[in-house]
Structure 1
């Protein structure tokens, strides 16, 4: 029975992320398909996928031109004038910019003393401290993100003295697997092939 429950948990670990990702992608394409099916004279299976891909490419292409940049800036100024919408939009924009443009997000795994000095948690070194934060510290600190198990989007952004950080020689993928699986999959070194 113990083996069956282990297989069941392993199956959940494999299936749940795939299922959630597939669900979100299918919902986006299905919504596009429904909208276009109602308003376009020509309809064929897969038009939603084609439409979403074209929309993303055209928006990315146009955003590099002066006129659309000005329109986007105007739209952002408009959103800035609405209190709650301003907060939500700016937070999502900053997060998506960090995720899609940063080559270093979740790259350097480290051990930090968290949640108390006697314990150690795996975290990831994030961006450099801003000047106001750095000036407020009596010694050099580093910004470290410590994700929560089972949900990498939740976690704690902590400022740790640089002397207390222990660099790890592990792949970022295995560090993320370790955190996501609550320690059931142990991290491996950079040079170890799976």
Structure 2
């Protein structure tokens, strides 16, 4: 009697081909869908305000996607150019002055402005390091992004209690944009050598996409560091050639 528990080799091969194609096509299809949806969303907001004489959809038989996005980029760049001048900066200051007089709107505006300035500014201190923190219990570890190592009011107050703390952001899985901001002792954070991008991939994939860990390279580097002090000490302990002393015999005879 034949065993029907195992699958046929041809079926297994087809399944592997399907999974390989799915892995290749799924990220590409999702990326195209998100980009296309974003372009359509911007077009739906911008195109109604474009005059008909400048809108190509008015005299072309087909709809041109992305025209609204191009107009939005040009307008945003133009606003940035005007804001950099004295007149534009004065207008923006007046607008912010009126927004500060609105109880609910001013809180939303200030928060959003600070977030965008922090994210988009070239001088902003973004996440540069990744670490591990023991959370939520002893023996369990969570990935954190080291947010700020500068001295703030919080760290200064905690330093008065004998705690040298740093700010860390612990993202949630699979959405790393949400999480917890914590001030923890610096000694409780174990810094990792992986990049922020690799750590974000690890969090988003719930641990399925882990960065490549070059354990052999690390072992070779540690061996090299261990050999270097020994080599330096051997050089220091090596006998130095004797210097010739000026004696009477070495002087030229008259």
2:178 aligned counterpart, secondary structure: strand
Q: Distance in 2 between matches of 1:186 and 1:173?
A: 11
* Cα displacement (A) at 1:101: 1.5
Relative to structure 1, is the Cα distance of residues 177 and 30 closer, same or farther in structure 2, using a 3 angstrom cutoff? same
What is the match of residue 68 of structure 2?
48
What is the match of residue 222 of structure 2?
none
What is the match of residue 120 of structure 1?
141
What is the match of residue 183 of structure 1?
207
Q: How many residues align?
A: 189
Contact 2:39-2:69 at 8 Å conserved across structures: no
Contact 1:112-1:166 at 8 Å conserved across structures: yes
Flag the structure with more relative contact order, 1 or 2, with Cα contacts below 8 A and sequence separation at least 6: 1
Greater CA radius of gyration, 1 or 2? 2
* Cα displacement (A) at 1:141: 0.7
Q: Distance in 1 between matches of 2:137 and 2:192?
A: 19
* Cα displacement (A) at 1:82: 1.2
TM-score normalised to the size of structure 1? 0.81
Higher mean C-alpha displacement, 7-16 vs 87-96: 7-16
What is the match of residue 160 of structure 1?
184
Q: In structure 2, list runs of 5 or more residues that go unmatched.
A: 1-11, 57-63, 215-254
- RMSD in angstroms over aligned alpha carbons? 3.0
2:144 aligned counterpart, secondary structure: strand
Higher mean C-alpha displacement, 119-128 vs 102-111: 102-111
What is the match of residue 81 of structure 2?
61
Q: In structure 1, list runs of 5 or more residues that go unmatched.
A: none
Contact 2:155-2:166 at 8 Å conserved across structures: no
1:145 aligned counterpart, secondary structure: strand
1:173 is matched with which residue: 197, 210, 213?
197
2:177 aligned counterpart, secondary structure: strand
TM-score normalised to the size of structure 2? 0.64
1:144 is matched with which residue: 145, 162, 168?
168
Q: Distance in 1 between matches of 2:185 and 2:100?
A: 36
